[in-house]
Chain A
Amino acid sequence: MTAAEAKRAAPGVAVRVQGARRVFRARGEPDVVAVDGVDLGAAPGEFVAILGPSGCGKSTLLRMIAGLDRADAGTIAVGEGDARDTALAYVFQDAHLLPWRTVEDNVALPLELRGRDAATRRDAARRAIEQVGLGDAARRHPAQLSGGMRMRASLARALVTEPRLLLLDEPFAALDEITRQDLDDQLRALWRATGMTVLFVTHSIAEATFLAERAIVLTRRPARVVLEHAIDLPAERDAALRGDARFAAETRALYAALARGNASAAA
């Protein structure tokens, strides 16, 4: 067993969502059923993309998996227990950095909150910053960074805890196409190097195809699963793959499912 394989064997955890349902109630307004009877899962170390139309309940689903929101019905299992027992990290659509801290201190924040000592924090933060290619900007403040750099910092903050489950909610949606592809490349490489489980929510079929081993397509609100699709592409993926015929075939399958999910909910 190589070192890389040994590392892959350990970190990723399984995720299992069964019959998850979440209803938002507000006084004077009709109830909003955001998620209704969703079953989905991820094997340890798997990279799963979750696709669905805007407002269908993807963020709600991810928040429930992270333990930030509670399901009204159904069960959600992460690893052996639930979210609280697992090292998991969450990346939001925007960077959400603390504006008064440097990149390095932002990245070190999760370790600081968990009471690690200063030296450990600094080493881990520097390593994570290098991993996302932000080495030069460690001492800068968020206001001095471009949107892409901020998102890299946010990704580094998630990686610094060496999570066993990484949840990303449309993390690169606000970036330009080139920066986004660059970050996709990097995320995929990081996933291959660490072996963590990744759940990646996105609107972009191309992004899901490029990144994931498997894609789960959801219907319009309330979210239900219309398609689970294993993406049949080589593990080694690079920019050239996006122009490949196989890539086009995979995106077509997802596109059809997405259209079907929209139609079925409308009917």
Chain B
Amino acid sequence: MSRFTEAVLPPAATFVATTLVAELAIRAAGVSPLLLPAPSAVARAAVRHAPTLWPALATTAQAVAIGLALSTVVGLVAAIALASSRWVERAFYPYAIFFQIVPIVAIAPLLVIWFGYGIRAVIAAAFIVSVFPVIANTLAGLRSVDPALRDLFRLYGASGWARLTKLSLPWALPNVLTGLRVAAGLAVIGAIVGEFVGGGGLGVVVLEAMRQQRTDLVFAAVLHAAALGLALFAAVNAVSRLTLRRWHTQEKDA
């Protein structure tokens, strides 16, 4: 069997099995669809409300993509600055941690005050929750550069720029990608929370559906958001595999 089938078949089987069990259990127990709609009901809602869900997904995806792109750029630059000297790290790193501990739900209204209703506040929310993992992981990567290779670059008179682009950044690439994998999931969370307050996208669909007590639609919207996170995660993984393929021995032959 191809590697693709090997990778896809087991999780697909798990998915089908759990969905089936959930469907049967929920029907057998006679749970109210207001509390817990059966998978089939959720699927029906997803189809029926596709004209609402798809544009909402597109809006959320756009905010997440921009927020994540900002996190990547800002996170890389911040990590490079922090890695430049122990002094800079001591002075600023404690404040970088602020991004991790900030309760996004609490400051989302503030973002709306600053950026107004709409996508800008949502992007800001996605950015704020996703930037720290990029900073922390990149910094760890930059700090872990093989000292012998640092010596080697010094010996051959490498400029600071050459050290950064030919040694430190490529060395930290696996860490950057690890950071992005974490950041991708967080950016979706940040965007949905941002939309609860700032409007637009799947966040609003969830709120509306809740108000109308359409639990099936809430589930459908949440699944769309989850799919978005999963797709981003898979995209980062694909980039990892392509770029890091040559670094590791698992690739059997030339």
Contact = CB atoms under 8 A, between A and B. Distances in A.
Decide if A and B are genuine partners.
yes
Interface of A: 63, 66-68, 88-90, 92, 94, 96, 98-100, 109-110, 112-114, 139-141, 143-144, 161
Nearest to A99: B247
A84 B153 CA distance: 13
Contacts of A112: 166
Given A100-B246, A140-B254, A143-B246, 6 more contacts: A66-B155, A99-B246, A100-B173, A113-B153, A114-B157, A161-B156
Closest 10 CB pairs of A and B: A113-B156, A99-B247, A96-B148, A141-B246, A113-B158, A110-B156, A143-B249, A92-B148, A68-B151, A100-B170
Contact of A96 (B152, B158, B249): B152
A100 B156 contact: no
Nearest to B249: A143
A92 B246 CA distance: 23
23 contacts: A63-B151, A66-B155, A92-B148, A96-B146, A98-B149, A98-B166, A98-B167, A98-B170, A99-B246, A99-B247, A100-B170, A100-B173, A109-B156, A112-B166, A114-B157, A139-B254, A141-B247, A143-B249, A144-B249, A144-B251, A144-B253, A144-B254, A161-B156
B152 A143 contact: no
Contacts of A89: 155
B241 interface: no
Interface residues of B, number: 23
B246 to A, nearest CB: 4
Given A88-B155, A143-B246, A143-B247, A94 B162 contact: no
A208 B155 CA distance: 26
Given A98-B167, A144-B254, A90 B151 contact: yes
B86 interface: no
Given A96-B146, A98-B167, A143 B157 contact: no
Contacts of B251: 143-144
